[in-house]
């Protein structure tokens, strides 16, 4: 069988050759572009709180650039050392002491916190040198660092007790045998603007805030309601995705229910939204709110807390 390579085939070959030559010239003219993105100046980051019956506790760091490599050295370098930290209840003012924690071999990595108790050797100082959180009191935080002063105010609201908190079979299509979630019954006060945050602890695990831990009473103001609450998980969870938010029959669960003010709610609400949508191209960008003055980031929070312990049934 003979094939006739006519004019159409010749034109096709010529077209391919032209395309290859064009591509060659385009690639040979390509210029490497090096985009040097500027990073903003580091800002002070505050995470501090005071709870009823407990002294204040403050962590200080500096912000890390978006494109900066994150490792233990970076985190250690971001920890703030040498700041002056004061807390006042309007009558008494105390200066929090700086303590260090060694997290590496032979003190290779040091991190700092500000409080009244050395966590490595816990001893309670004299009560007259302490400020302990009380319901309905305002607390002022002052941080002096590198010649700048940062301030914030927070209140410890009185929490409204839950009518009850129980464990129940989860409302989900694929139920894991013997798994349970929490269900709370609650009568919201008829005054608007109440905000809450909750935490849970399973057996001997640490006490964690829930992944979506805050809510307010915009919809439920003054109403009696019940709702299912998933148990809290560490934000670094990489396993057990099929059983997130549940405990099991026989588990001991500690439930922490806290009242917070509007500024504290706004911070945690925007912070948790930002974490939950991290990396999503479809999420609406959001700025995490702060109640710290002078351009600092973070939160100074008052927590009015009540606790309940139950056995999952």
Q: How far is CA 61 from the centre of its chain?
A: 15
**E strand or H helix at 111:** strand 110-115
pLDDT for the residue 21: 46
pLDDT band of residue 73 (cuts 50, 70, 90) is low
pLDDT for the residue 79: 85
Tokens 């159409």 sit on residue: 8
Q: Nearest-5° angle of CA 300, CA 94, CA 259?
A: 35
What residue segments make up the domains of the chain, in order of their start? 44-155, 164-290+298-311
pLDDT for the residue 124: 81
- Say whether pLDDT at 64 is over 90: no
Distance CA 294, CA 76 (A): 24
pLDDT digits (tens, 9 = 90+) for 115-165: 999 988 888 888 888 999 999 999 999 999 999 999 999 999 999 999 999
Paired tokens of 296: 């600092």
**E strand or H helix at 148:** strand 148-155
- Say whether pLDDT at 52 is over 80: yes
DSSP string over 147-176:
TEEEEEEEE-PPPPPPSEEEEE--SSSSPP
- CA distances to 49, 72, 187, 198 from 82, rounded to whole Å, are 20, 20, 46, 33
Name which residue leads in pLDDT, 241 or 54: 54
Topology classification of domain 44-155 = Immunoglobulin-like (2.60.40)
**For residues 44 and 296, is the Cβ–Cβ distance under 8 A?**
yes
- Say whether pLDDT at 16 is over 60: no
pLDDT band of residue 75 (cuts 50, 70, 90) is low
Distance CA 99, CA 121 (A): 11
**E strand or H helix at 11:** helix 7-28
pLDDT digits (tens, 9 = 90+) for 78-119: 789 999 999 999 999 999 999 998 776 555 677 899 999 998
Label residues 107-141 b or e (16+ Cβ within 10 Å = b): eeeebbbbbbbeeeeeeeeeeeeebebeeebebeb
Q: How far is CA 91 from the centre of its chain?
A: 32
pLDDT digits (tens, 9 = 90+) for 177-202: 999 999 999 999 989 999 999 999 99
Paired tokens of 227: 């709702």
The CA R_g of the chain, rounded to the nearest whole Å, is: 28
pLDDT for the residue 247: 94
pLDDT digits (tens, 9 = 90+) for 188-239: 998 999 999 999 999 999 999 999 999 999 999 999 989 999 999 887 765 5
pLDDT band of residue 4 (cuts 50, 70, 90) is very low
- Say whether pLDDT at 26 is over 50: no
Distance CA 229, CA 217 (A): 16
pLDDT digits (tens, 9 = 90+) for 251-270: 999 999 999 999 999 999 99
pLDDT for the residue 33: 54
pLDDT for the residue 207: 97
- Say whether pLDDT at 69 is over 80: no
């Amino acid at each position: 069988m003979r094939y006739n390579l006519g004019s159409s085939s010749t034109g096709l070959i010529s077209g391919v050759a032209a395309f290859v030559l064009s591509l060659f010239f385009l690639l040979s003219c390509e210029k490497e572009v090096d985009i040097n993105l500027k990073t903003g100046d580091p800002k002070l980051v505050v995470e501090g709180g005071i709870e009823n019956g407990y002294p204040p506790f403050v962590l200080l760091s500096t912000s890390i650039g978006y494109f900066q490599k994150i490792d233990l050295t970076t985190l250690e370098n971001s920890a703030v050392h040498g700041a002056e930290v004061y807390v006042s209840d309007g009558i008494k003012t105390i200066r929090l002491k700086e303590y260090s924690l060694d997290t590496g071999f032979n003190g290779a990595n040091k991190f700092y916190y500000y409080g009244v108790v050395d966590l490595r050797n816990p001893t309670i100082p004299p009560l007259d040198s302490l400020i302990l959180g009380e319901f309905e009191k305002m607390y002022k935080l002052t941080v002096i660092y590198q010649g700048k002063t940062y301030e914030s105010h927070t209140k410890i609201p009185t929490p409204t007790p839950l009518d009850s908190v129980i464990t129940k079979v989860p409302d989900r299509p694929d139920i894991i045998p013997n798994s349970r979630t929490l269900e709370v019954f609650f009568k919201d006060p008829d005054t608007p603007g109440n905000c809450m945050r909750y935490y849970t602890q399973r057996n001997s695990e640490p006490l964690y805030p829930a992944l979506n831990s805050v809510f307010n009473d915009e919809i439920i103001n003054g109403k009696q309601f019940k709702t299912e609450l998933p148990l809290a998980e560490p934000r670094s969870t990489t396993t057990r995705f099929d059983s997130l938010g549940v405990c099991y029959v026989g588990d001991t669960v500690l439930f922490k229910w806290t009242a917070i003010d509007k500024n504290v709610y706004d911070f945690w609400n925007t912070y948790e939204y930002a974490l939950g949508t991290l990396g999503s191209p479809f999420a609406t960008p959001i700025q995490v709110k702060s109640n710290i003055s002078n351009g600092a980031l973070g939160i100074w929070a008052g927590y009015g807390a009540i606790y309940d312990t139950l056995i999952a049934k």
